[in-house]
Every structure is written in structure tokens, then in C-alpha cells.
């Protein structure tokens, strides 16, 4: 029953206007980036062509419409499905749904479907981007490496900031795919975190749902200077696939693990509550 509930809730979330708008906005940005690259590099010699994966929308070059997405990333993450609980509560549908499925199944289904829906919103368009680039651009291109190839000091210095640098050197396409999956997981955790926050009794207005994600992202950003970390703590650097600033994979895993744990704790608190609304 729980599996059917999660499937049903996920399908309902995908049909919501906010979900459709955000999904197609991201897809439009991806396609705009793709066709712009097609126009720029049309007729370019293969030896001068940029590596297909470095032309992805998530390349981190902060050009054209990329800036718009990176700047408003928290807004894109929250808007599609994080208001689900408040919508159910304000419309009183929560009483009907919990009456049919039970409180435990309702909350587990809501949290899970929120994560799945956001994950798909942030993976499907970028996977489409990768497939289109592999079809349209020569796979052997490496013109962005520069004179001297893979062993120049400048190139080595730049890629040292990549997460999973060994994987990039081994298989750039697998590296890009796993980065897309990682961004989908992180986005899903942020969206679920905002949803979990909305279940706290004092949160009665949708504007407050934006508070936890924005606060978390912008309070962590200065931690690098505050604690003298040797790696970046800005979310900008972690959602850009080829950002050259030094990052920590361990710190990222710890952050995601903490976020997941918080979501689970709030989930169990809601399940154990006596009240329905």
C-alpha cells in the first residue's frame, strides 16, 4: 500500500503547475545553452572543439543563462513540491488522505515523493543535455585543455578543484553522469528539508518555507573564512560541475548525511504526533 501511495503522490506532484513550470524552465535553459553552443562551435575544427561534457549547462562557466539558474537555485529547489504539506493542510485534504492511508503512510509517502519528484526534476533535463552534447559534438574533442595537453601545470591546477578528480581523469562521461545524479540527490534533500520544516506547527505561511534552505546555504557560505577551512563552503561551487575552487567530498557527504538525518527525525516526530492538523 505504501508503494502505491508513494507512486500516486509522486504522479500528483508531477502534474502540479509549479512542478511543470520549474521542470520546463530548467529544460528550456538547458536547450538554450545547447543551441547557443551549437551556433558558437558550428564548423569548428575538431582539435579546437571544447570537450562535450564541458559544454553542459552545469559547466560552471557562469555565462549566459547559467548565472540565472545558479543564483536562483534555492528558489528552483523549493518551489515545485515543498509546499505540499501546507497545501494539504490549508485545503483540509490532509484529514481525508490520512483517514484513508493512515498518518504514518501519509508522512512517509509525502516525504519520499517530494524527494523523488525533485530528484527527477534535477536529473532528467541535465541527462538530456549530456545526451544531446554527445550526439552533436565530437567525443574526441579536447580543445579546452590548451597548449601542452593534460599535463600542463595550469590544467592540473584547475582540475584539482574537481570533486572525484580521479574519476574525471579516468572517465569524463561517467564523472559527469554521477555529478548530475549527485545534484539530483542534493536538490531532493533540500526540497524535503523545506517540506519537513513546513510541518512544524508555527509555520503557517508559505513564505516561511523558503527560510530554512536560504538560511542554511547563506550561513554556511562564510564558514570557510570563519573556521579557516581549506575548501569552499559556498553552494555555488558544489553545483557547478567544473568549478575549479577547492572542495571537500567528505564535507559534502557529511552535510548531506546531516540533512538526511534531520529530515528523518522530523518525519518520525510527525508520525508520533497525536494531532492530524
Angle at 92 between CA 86 and CA 79, to 5 degrees: 25
What is the rounded distance in angstroms from the CA atom of residue 149 to the CA atom of residue 139?
Answer: 16
Average pLDDT, the chain: 84
Tally of CB atoms within 10 A around 226: 10
Q: Which residue has the cell 548565472?
A: 67
Q: In this predicted structure, what is the pLDDT of residue 40?
A: 81
Please give the C-alpha separations between residue 28 and each of 11, 24, 35, 60, 188, in angstroms, as whole numbers.
22, 6, 10, 18, 21
What pLDDT sits at residue 144?
Answer: 59
Residue 148: per-residue pLDDT: 46
Rounded distance between C-alpha atoms, residue 142 and residue 155, angstroms: 12
Q: Does residue 61 fall inside a structural domain?
A: yes
Give pLDDT, residue 45: 72
Handedness of CA 11, 204, 211, 264 (dihedral sign): negative
- More reliable by pLDDT, 18 or 43: 18
Across the range 234-247, mean pLDDT stands at 84
Range of the domain at 11: 2-272
Q: Given this model, what pLDDT does residue 146 score?
A: 45
Residue closest to 262 by CA, chosen among 225, 227, 231, 216: 216
What integer is the mean pLDDT of 70-75?
86
pLDDT, average across residues 222-246: 84
State mean pLDDT over 65-76. Answer: 82
pLDDT at 151 over 70: no
Other residues' Cβ atoms within 10 Å of the Cβ of residue 244 = 14
Q: Is residue 161 part of a domain?
A: yes
Residue with cell 567544473: 242
Residue 35 lies in a domain: yes
CA dihedral 219, 223, 224, 225 (to 10 degrees): 100
User: Sorting pLDDT into bands at 50, 70 and 90, what band is 169?
Assistant: confident
Output the pLDDT for position 20: 92
pLDDT tens digits along 174-218: 999 999 999 999 999 999 999 999 988 888 888 888 888 888 888
Q: Is the pLDDT of residue 226 over 60?
A: yes
Q: Is 235 within a domain?
A: yes
- Cβ of 128: how many Cβ atoms within 10 Å? 15
| Short-list 151, 167, 147, CA closest to 241 | 167
Domain count, the chain: 1
Show the cell assigned to 173. 562521461
pTM of the model: 0.88
What would the grid cell of residue 276 be?
492530524
Q: Is residue 233 part of a domain?
A: yes
Would you put residue 37 in left (φ > 0), alpha (ψ -120 to 50) or beta? alpha
**Is 143 exposed, middle or buried (CB count within 10 Å of its CB: 0-12, 13-18, 19+)?**
middle
State residue 53's pLDDT score.
86
Dump pLDDT digits (tens) for 246-262. 888 899 999 999 999 99
Q: Please say whether the beta carbons of 79 and 20 come within 8 A.
A: no
Q: Above 60 in pLDDT, residue 30? A: yes
Question: Residue 228's pLDDT is what?
Answer: 82
Q: What percentage of the chain carries pLDDT values higher than 90?
A: 29
Q: Side-chain half-sphere of 139: how many Cα atoms within 13 Å? A: 8
pLDDT above 70 covers what percent of the chain?
89
C-beta neighbour count of 67 within 10 angstroms: 11
Higher pLDDT, 195 or 141: 195
Residue matched to cell numbers 528558489 = 75
CA dihedral 120, 121, 123, 124 (to 10 degrees): 90
Q: Is the pLDDT of residue 72 over 90?
A: no
Residue 277 within a domain? no
95, part of any domain: yes
Most confident of 151-160, 191-200, 229-238: 191-200
With beta carbons less than 8 A apart as the criterion, state whether 175 and 164 touch: yes
Which grid coordinates are listed for 211? 527560510
Amino acid at each position: 500500500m505504501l508503494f502505491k501511495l508513494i507512486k500516486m503522490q509522486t504522479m500528483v506532484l508531477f502534474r502540479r503547475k509549479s512542478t511543470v513550470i520549474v521542470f520546463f524552465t530548467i529544460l528550456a535553459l538547458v536547450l538554450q545553452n545547447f543551441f547557443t553552443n551549437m551556433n558558437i562551435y558550428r564548423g569548428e575544427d575538431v582539435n579546437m572543439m571544447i570537450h562535450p561534457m564541458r559544454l553542459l549547462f552545469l559547466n560552471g562557466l557562469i555565462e549566459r543563462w547559467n548565472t540565472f539558474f545558479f543564483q536562483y537555485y534555492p528558489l528552483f529547489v523549493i518551489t515545485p513540491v515543498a509546499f505540499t504539506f501546507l497545501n494539504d493542510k490549508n485545503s483540509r485534504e490532509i484529514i481525508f488522505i490520512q483517514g484513508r492511508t493512515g498518518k504514518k503512510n501519509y508522512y512517509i509517502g509525502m516525504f519520499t515523493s517530494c524527494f523523488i519528484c525533485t530528484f527527477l526534476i534535477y536529473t532528467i533535463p541535465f541527462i538530456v543535455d549530456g545526451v544531446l552534447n554527445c550526439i552533436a559534438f565530437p567525443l574526441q574533442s579536447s580543445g579546452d585543455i590548451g597548449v601542452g595537453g593534460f599535463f600542463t601545470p595550469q590544467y592540473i591546477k584547475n582540475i584539482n578543484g574537481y570533486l572525484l578528480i580521479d574519476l574525471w581523469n579516468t572517465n569524463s562521461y561517467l564523472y559527469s553522469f554521477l555529478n548530475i545524479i549527485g545534484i539530483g540527490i542534493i536538490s531532493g534533500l533540500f526540497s524535503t528539508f523545506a517540506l519537513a520544516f513546513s510541518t512544524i506547527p508555527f509555520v503557517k505561511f508559505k513564505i516561511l518555507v523558503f527560510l530554512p534552505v536560504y538560511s542554511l546555504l547563506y550561513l554556511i557560505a562564510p564558514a570557510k573564512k570563519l573556521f579557516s577551512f581549506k575548501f569552499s563552503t559556498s553552494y555555488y561551487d558544489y553545483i557547478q560541475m567544473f568549478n575549479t575552487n577547492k572542495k571537500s567530498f567528505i564535507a559534502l557527504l557529511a552535510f548531506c548525511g546531516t540533512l538526511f538525518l534531520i529530515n528523518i527525525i522530523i518525519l518520525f516526530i510527525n508520525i508520533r504526533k497525536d494531532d492530524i492538523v
